């Protein structure tokens, strides 16, 4: 009989991974996704907006730039500090608060819109995270998400990491949030209407080696994967990532441009 998955232990492990390196180095390059999501959600001046698993605040800043009253949350305090630095530089008034997406410290129906760009999808207890997003969003409000798809580049990158550093038995892959059918399962009766569109974000680096160097140094999951491997094992992971990058590179030999598919989702709360 298999041992039940310890979600608290998994969360602690993930939290340590995201706190390692400095996700802000990667996150800043993804700002376009936050801007596009803010437009897709048709955010209005003075609306109350919550950004969950906000990282260094891409959706946070996008909403604040549109005059919203924004609360930015993450369970990694260091990442919120990066978001706070960015908001202060732009003279944007944002509230930053350490919070776990699986237990949000807000009353039911507090927010007009709840956003997450490549964040909530990594919560260990996916059903509970979706329940919390629905709970704190008012009826008729919007839940806006940007989630990597299983078949896209980032989804394939995580599968590659998983072959070298297997995830705990029973853990749900984050890319389930990039599957429209699974979104219906996760949000269920909270969905009044849902609009899903497939988008692509282009990773732009000097070369596969440059991409791996940056992600190995700064991106928590890749940083932790390499740190857990030694010698030939680390070299094997590097070879597989290089192959994946080469297979997806649309820029030829002179540079690296890798499109990565994600779902842009706007759920109108029932």
- pTM here? 0.96
Express each pLDDT in 50-108 by its tens digit.
999 999 999 999 999 999 999 999 999 999 999 999 999 999 999 999 999 999 999 99
Express each pLDDT in 140-172 by its tens digit.
999 999 999 999 999 999 999 999 999 988 899
Q: 20 falls in which pLDDT band (50, 70, 90)?
A: confident
pLDDT at 1: 52
pLDDT at 56: 97
Contact 182, 147 (CB under 8 A): no
Q: What fold, for 7-150+168-202+260-269? A: Rossmann fold (3.40.50)
Percent residues over pLDDT 90 in the chain: 92
* Nearest-angstrom CA–CA distance, 30 and 164: 26
Ramachandran assignment for 74, one of left (phi > 0), alpha (psi -120 to 50 degrees), beta (any other): beta
Domain borders along the chain are 7-150+168-202+260-269
Express each pLDDT in 94-138 by its tens digit.
999 999 999 999 999 999 999 999 999 999 999 999 999 999 999
Q: 2 falls in which pLDDT band (50, 70, 90)?
A: low
pLDDT at 13: 87
* Nearest-angstrom CA–CA distance, 249 and 245: 6
């Amino acid at each position: 009989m298999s041992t039940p998955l310890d979600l608290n232990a998994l969360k602690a492990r993930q939290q340590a991974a995201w706190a390692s390196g400095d996700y802000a180095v990667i996150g800043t390059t993804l700002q376009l996704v936050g801007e596009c999501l803010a437009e897709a959600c048709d955010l209005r001046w003075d609306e109350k907006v919550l950004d969950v698993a906000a990282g260094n605040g891409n959706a946070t800043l996008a909403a604040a730039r549109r005059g919203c009253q924004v609360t930015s949350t993450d369970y990694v305090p260091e990442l919120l500090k990066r978001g706070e630095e960015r908001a202060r530089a732009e003279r944007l008034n944002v509230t930053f608060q350490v919070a776990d997406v699986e237990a949000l410290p807000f009353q039911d129906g507090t927010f007009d819109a709840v956003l997450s760009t490549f964040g909530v999808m990594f919560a260990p207890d996916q059903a509970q995270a979706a329940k919390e997003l629905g709970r704190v969003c008012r009826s008729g409000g919007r839940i806006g998400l940007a989630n990597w798809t299983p078949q896209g580049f980032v989804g394939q990158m995580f599968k590659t990491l998983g072959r070298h550093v297997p995830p705990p038995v029973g853990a749900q892959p984050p890319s389930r949030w990039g599957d429209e059918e699974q979104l219906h399962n996760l949000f269920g009766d909270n969905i009044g209407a849902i609009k899903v569109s497939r988008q692509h974000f282009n990773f732009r680096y000097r070369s596969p080696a440059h991409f791996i160097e940056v992600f190995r140094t700064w991106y928590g999951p890749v940083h932790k994967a390499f740190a857990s491997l030694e010698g030939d094992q680390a070299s094997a992971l590097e070879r597989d990532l290089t192959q994946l990058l080469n297979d997806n590179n649309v820029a030829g030999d002179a540079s690296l441009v890798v499109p990565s598919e994600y779902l842009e989702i706007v759920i109108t709360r029932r």
